[in-house]
Structure 1
Amino acid sequence: MLQMLITGLLWFSAVGCGLLAGLYFAFSTFIMTALARTGQAAGIAAMNAINVTIVQSLFMPVFLGTTAASTGLAVIAIFRWSEPGAMAMLAGGTLYVLGMFVVTMIFNVPLNNALAATDPASQEAASLWARYLTEWTWWNHVRTVASTVACALFIAAIAAR
């Protein structure tokens, strides 16, 4: 029974990490560039609309569920260290939680909140938008890599089992 649960968590986490890696990859490779090209007020308005919509979408269950499953897999791996795939489970879970979830909470969300609190047409917004485009995107690159590598590690754990 526990083996089936672990296998299910691995599959769920691998798929969740893959979905989120794809989303973050899109933001890193073209969405943020497109928003920057629309101009300050339009870019800020669009990003604020995205940030409001995303937390009301299926993104949140995948985001939170994958974080919970990845955390669980990391903990399980510690207690089942001698089993095949445990190292990949621990590495994938830890990388995902730190490189995706913690980075999101410490860096991306506060930047989103600051952007939401500014008047898109104000002079203050100009410096915030420039900083946002650079810093938010850099941390999004971190999330993209962490999610992608965690996905691969969970797949490796599945293969090892």
Structure 2
Amino acid sequence: MRNILTSGLLWFSALGCGLLAGLYFAFSTFVMTALGRIDQAAGISAMNAINTDIVRSLFMPVFLGTTLSCAVLVVLGALRWQEPGAIAMICGGGLYVLGMFVVTAVFNVPLNDQLAAADPASTATAPLWARFLTDWTFWNHVRTVASLAATALLIVAIAAR
């Protein structure tokens, strides 16, 4: 039973990490660039609309469920570190929790909150928007790489089992 649970968590986590890596990749490679190319007020309004809708979508169960399952995998791997794939499971789960979830909570969400509080049409918002585009995108790159690397490590753990 324990092996079935661990296998299920590994598959769910690998798929969730991969799915979110793709989402973050899209933002890193073209969404943020496109938002930066349009009028400031339109770009800010679009980003704020995305931030409002994303928490009401299927994104949140995948985001939170994958984070929780990766955290559980870290614990399971630590309890059975000598088993095949356990180290990859610990590293993949830990990388995802730290590189995706913690980065989101500490960097991306506060930047989103600052942007939501700003007046999109004000010229005084221009420095905030410029900094947002640079800083948010940098931390999104971190989330992309962490999610992709976690996916790879969880696949290694699956293959090793």
| TM-score, normalising length: structure 1 | 0.99
- 2:29 maps to a residue whose letter is T
Q: Residue 94 of structure 2 aligns with which residue?
A: 94
Q: Residue 133 of structure 1 aligns with which residue?
A: 133
State the secondary structure of the residue aligned to 1:35.
Answer: helix
Does residue 104 of the first structure (1) align with residue 104 of the second (2)? yes
Equivalent residue runs for 1:111-122 within 5 Å: 111-122=111-122
Count of residues paired in the alignment? 161
Q: Residue 24 of structure 2 aligns with which residue?
A: 24
State the secondary structure of the residue aligned to 1:44.
Answer: helix
- 2:76 maps to a residue whose letter is I
Q: Residue 153 of structure 2 aligns with which residue?
A: 153
1:132: how far off? 0.2
1-side partners of 2:130 and 2:24: how far apart?
19
2-side partners of 1:38 and 1:114: how far apart?
20
1:124: how far off? 2.5
- 1:45 maps to a residue whose letter is S
1:75: how far off? 0.7
1:102: how far off? 0.2
Q: Which runs of 5+ in 1 are unaligned?
A: none
Paired residues of 1:118 and 1:124 also in contact (CA < 8 A): no
2-side partners of 1:69 and 1:39: how far apart?
40
2-side partners of 1:16 and 1:132: how far apart?
26
1:39: how far off? 1.6
Equivalent residue runs for 1:34-113 within 5 Å: 34-113=34-113
Computed over aligned residues only, the root mean square deviation of the Cα atoms, in angstroms, reads 0.5
1:122: how far off? 1.0
What are the Cα deviations for residues 106-137 of structure 1, in whole angstroms up to 9, with x where unaligned? 00000000000000011221011000000000
Structure 1 runs, 4 residues or longer, greater than 4 Å off: none
2-side partners of 1:72 and 1:13: how far apart?
10
- 1:87 maps to a residue whose letter is I
Q: Residue 14 of structure 1 aligns with which residue?
A: 14
- 1:67 maps to a residue whose letter is T
